[in-house]
Amino acid sequence: MKDIVIDIEAEKTEILKRYRALLRACKSTLQKGDKKLIRKAFEMALESHKGMRRKSGEPYIYHPIAVAQIAAEEIGLGPTSIVCALLHDVVEDTDVSLDDIEREFGKKVALIIDGLTKISGVFDTNSSLQAENFRKMLLTLADDVRVILIKLADRLHNMRTMEFMPRDKQLKLSSETVYLYAPLAHRLGLYAIKSELEDLSMKYMERETYQFIKKRLNEKKAEREKFIRDFIEPLKKVLESQELHSDVFGRPKSIHSIWNKMKKKAIPFEEVYDLFAIRIVLDSAPEHEKAECWKAYSIVTDLYRPNPDRLRDWISSPKANGYESLHTTVMGPRGQWVEVQIRTKRMNEIAEKGFAAHWKYKESSTDSGLDQWVQKVREMLKNPESNALDFLDDFKMNLFSDEIFIFTPKGALIQLPQGATALDFAFEIHTDVGATCIGAKVNHKLVPLGYKLQNGDQVEVITSSKQTPKEDWLNVVVTAKAKAKIKSALKEEKRKIADEGKEILERKMKSLKITYNSDNLHKLSYYFKLLSTQDLFFNVAKGLIDMKDLKEYQASEKVVENKPQDKIENDQVQNLLRSIKTKDSDILLIGEDMQKIDYKLANCCNPIPGDDVFGFITVSDGIKIHRTNCPNAAKLMANYGYRIVKARWTNQQELAFLTGLRITGIDDVGLINKLTTVISNDFKVNIRSITVDSDNGIFEGSIMVYVNDTEHLENLIKRLKMVKGITAVTRFDSAVEVAS
């Protein structure tokens, strides 16, 4: 018993500690009497949530305190919002009524709490929910926009503390968050919260990718930090000497945005260069803001060469959500593009916390600043058609571009790829629902199976017990799941029919006095140009092959003597294999066997001696040698394992092999000359071709050279990397699809 008493005492201390931290966080916005009001709200929340605990086992009151702290610290809201945040779950979860709230805190607070309670009903029950409904709801509920902001703070804290939730709840909250809350935060200019919500959703929805990127970021951290230090140091010196007081630092990009870039550009993590941005935050007087930002820009571009295409001036014309900043991309010391963001302290705060931060800087009455902002937000919500403020479009824009979210009639979210149809949706729900689907209602309107779904559609599937999957359904669906299910249903159907056909054929053959055995069945299949005996049975059952056809076969039987196509191909393969195996081992030795066995180096991966290779027996072009890491290797090995031949290089040759090098660097006069000197003179290597691309100071070249083996190649790469101005040299393979 004693333990529990001590526990509760410790908790009490912790609660008070957290409460005091909250007070410190909102200190700057507090006026006379505010502190008393917050205290009262805290006590009411503490009392009414008494004994309640979160899934983690912590006292429930930690949650409203944390939400209030986010509202104050991360969104910059004032005392009324802090009172509401502390009380946000009271009416919904405890005995306290709205009247109680109104009596104690007045009408304004009661209205906000009422809005919060209604919103939470909308999100947390299974009601149907579409983007348009969502917008309307926000519009009617958000008579006071603080309702939405506190709801965002609430969601952020729930996402931050989600690890104790069951998996299905985690997924539901995450998909809602990425679908509704993150775009909303973006729309309201709350960039920091938007990024965190996206990262947290990804952490639960794409666990492996999230951890993978996180791990990679950590591995490169020291290197990145050194780069940032080297980049910033000279910049700081000049800024100081010009008396621009500033804070200069590197800002990591969010995991979610890195992942988006990888997907959008189809590149691996290693090729994402902008893992961070450099930010210069100036401490400027209001009247000097713009001039000083441009002065800083001038300093940055004196030190580093800018890319003129990537200058963004959101100071002269701020974004609709209030974002102000100057962005430029410059060439860093190691030939790498670096984004630099220049802004003042005020602009930075607005960018991080949204417009709520704005009124802090308005000298006049505190309320009018907030009112103006509320007005702005309301206009945004009211005006989804207007170009700059297209609310719904923004929703779509912020989603994974290749995925859509569809609602079931009960309001559950289903994620499908872009282009998915009503039939895909049906199979996503359940195989049986898909197999018996005859149509669907989308947003209460009847549509055919092939109807292409739009983001936010609500779909009800209509089924009939008489329906069965059809062949042409395969052209209607896009998801792998639906395709596989349809195929297996069709196969099953076909198998049943073929079984009937088998009996029919047996009878017919008997009456024609053709022996029923597998040899004759194969001959029949071949005669009717069918791929398998099952196809033969199927065609018989369907009446496509009848007695007359069988008689014709019988008549031609004497002249026809054939092997199935596959057999011919197999013979070729066997012949080639035999000629290799006449040697002591069954390994193809490349170089030595050159004359005896017909083989070529595949031009999809250009293997050179030293590479790990295998031989692949083609139908018409002898043996092709591929690298084991050739982009086609996995496909070949998986599909045609019997055509793979082990291969090894012999080492007594002095032949030259063609390979490609991709070279990047900082454009410099004479760079090509330096490169060719190293390759031709120092290494005595022949160059077949050079193509060079120079773009805004970046040099990109492809060089095809002849080398002897991998060691030779590695030495050449090493030497090229030492040429001044070169940042990277990599081997590449021309991506020619191999003919198998």
For residue 177, give the nearest of 152, 213, 208 by alpha carbon: 152
Stretch that binds Mn ion, among 89-97, 256-264, 442-450, 566-574 (CB under 5 A): 89-97
d(CA 245, CA 394): 36
Q: Measure the CA angle with vertex 452, ends 446 and 455; round to 5°.
A: 100
Phi, psi of 97 (to 5 degrees): -105, 165
For residue 508, what are the contacts with CB-CB under 8 A and spacing of at least 6? 540, 547, 550
Closer of 22 and 380 to Mn ion (Cβ): 22
Single out the residue of 282, 377, 384 nearest to residue 322, CA to CA: 377
DSSP 485-540: HHHHHHHHHHHHHHHHHHHHHHHHHHHTT---SHHHHHHHHHHTT-SSHHHHHHHH
Q: How far is the CB of 443 from Mn ion (least distance, A)?
A: 31
Name the residue nearer to Mn ion (CB basis): 156 or 426: 156
Q: Which of 275, 279, 282, 295 is nearest to 337 (CA)?
A: 275
Report the candidate in 440, 457, 608 with the shortest Cα–Cα distance to residue 130: 457
Binders of Mn ion among residues 552 to 591 (CB under 5 A) are none
Phi, psi of 604 (to 5 degrees): -85, -25
Specify whether the CB–CB gap between 615 and 624 falls below 8 A.
Answer: yes
Q: Are 710 and 610 in contact, with CB atoms under 8 Å apart?
A: yes
Q: How many residues does the chain have?
A: 740
Q: Are 687 and 628 in contact (CB under 8 A)?
A: no
State which residue, 200 or 630, has the beta carbon closest to Mn ion. Answer: 200
Active site annotation includes 93: yes
- Out of 74, 89, 428, 733, name the contact with Mn ion by CB under 5 A: 89
Cβ-based burial of 573 (10 A; exposed 0-12, middle 13-18, buried ≥19): middle
Closer residue to Mn ion in complex, CB, 51/543: 51
How far is CA 465 from each of CA 315, 424, 425, 435, 462, rounded to the nearest angstrom?
Answer: 63, 18, 18, 9, 10
Q: Residues 619, 718: contact at Cβ < 8 Å?
A: no
Dihedral over alpha carbons 502, 507, 512, 513 (to 10 degrees) = 90
Annotate each residue in 476-505 with x if it binds Mn ion (CB under 5 A) or - if it does not, as one string.
Answer: ------------------------------
Q: Which residues pair with 729 in a beta bridge?
A: 663
Give the span between the Cα atoms of 735 and 713, in whole angstroms: 20
Residue 695 catalytic? no
Give me 162's structure tokens. Answer: 């989600």
Distance CA 329, CA 332 (A): 9
Kindly tell me which of 45 and 707 has the beta carbon lying closer to Mn ion: 45
Cα distance between residue 602 and residue 243, in whole Å: 63
User: What is the total count of residues that contact Mn ion (CB under 5 A)?
Assistant: 2
- Nearest distance in Å: CB 734, Mn ion: 57
93/549 with CB nearer Mn ion: 93
The single residue of 73, 93, 352, 700 carrying the catalytic annotation is 93
**C-alpha closest to that of 358 among 188, 125, 223, 109:** 188
The single residue of 14, 73, 92, 621 carrying the catalytic annotation is 92
Window 132 to 161, contacts with Mn ion (CB under 5 A): 154
Which helix or strand (DSSP H or E) is residue 303 part of? helix 289-303
CA dihedral 282, 27, 78, 87 (to 10 degrees): 140
Contact call for residues 647 and 617 (beta carbons, < 8 A): no
Choose between 197 and 604: whose C-beta lies nearer to Mn ion: 197
Q: Which listed range, 83-91, 108-116, 399-407, 605-613, lies at the site for Mn ion (CB under 5 A)?
A: 83-91
| CA separation, residue 424 to residues 246, 427, 476 (Å) | 55, 5, 8
Is there binding between residue 428 and Mn ion (CB under 5 A)?
Answer: no
Q: How far is the CB of 188 from Mn ion (least distance, A)?
A: 19
Residue number with CB closer to Mn ion (165 or 435): 165
How far apart are CB 88 and Mn ion at their closest, in Å?
A: 6
Considering the complex, what minimum distance in angstroms separates the CB of residue 154 from Mn ion? 4
Contact 602, 625 (CB under 8 A): yes
Interatomic CA distance for residues 59 and 648, integer angstroms: 67
Q: Which is nearer to Mn ion, 101 or 514 (CB)?
A: 101
Our CB check for Mn ion shows the closer of 113 and 248 to be 113
Query: Which among 81-89, 192-200, 283-291, 548-556 is the span making contact with Mn ion, rule CB under 5 A?
Result: 81-89
Q: At a CB cut-off of 8 Å and minimum separation 6, what does 227 contact? A: 332, 334, 336
Residue nearest to Mn ion (CB): 154
At its nearest, how many Å lie between Mn ion and the CB of residue 19? Answer: 17
Whichever of 89 and 176 has its CB closer to Mn ion, that residue is: 89
Task: Classify residue 515 by its DSSP letter.
Answer: -
- x/- site string to Mn ion, residues 442 to 481, per CB under 5 A? ----------------------------------------
- Span interacting with Mn ion, options 87-95, 274-282, 305-313, 365-373, rule CB under 5 A: 87-95
Report, in Å, the least distance between residue 113 CB and Mn ion: 12
Q: Which is nearer to Mn ion, 86 or 423 (CB)?
A: 86
The greatest distance separating any two alpha carbons of the chain, rounded to the nearest whole angstrom, comes to 110
* Cβ proximity of 174 and 382 under 8 Å: no
**Minimum gap (Å) between residue 308 Cβ and Mn ion:** 48
Q: Are 501 and 489 in contact (CB under 8 A)?
A: no
Contact, 733 vs 604, CB < 8 A? yes
Region for 443 from its dihedrals, namely left if φ exceeds 0, alpha if ψ lies in -120 to 50, beta otherwise: left
Active site positions, annotated: 92-93
Residues near Mn ion (CB under 5 A): 89, 154
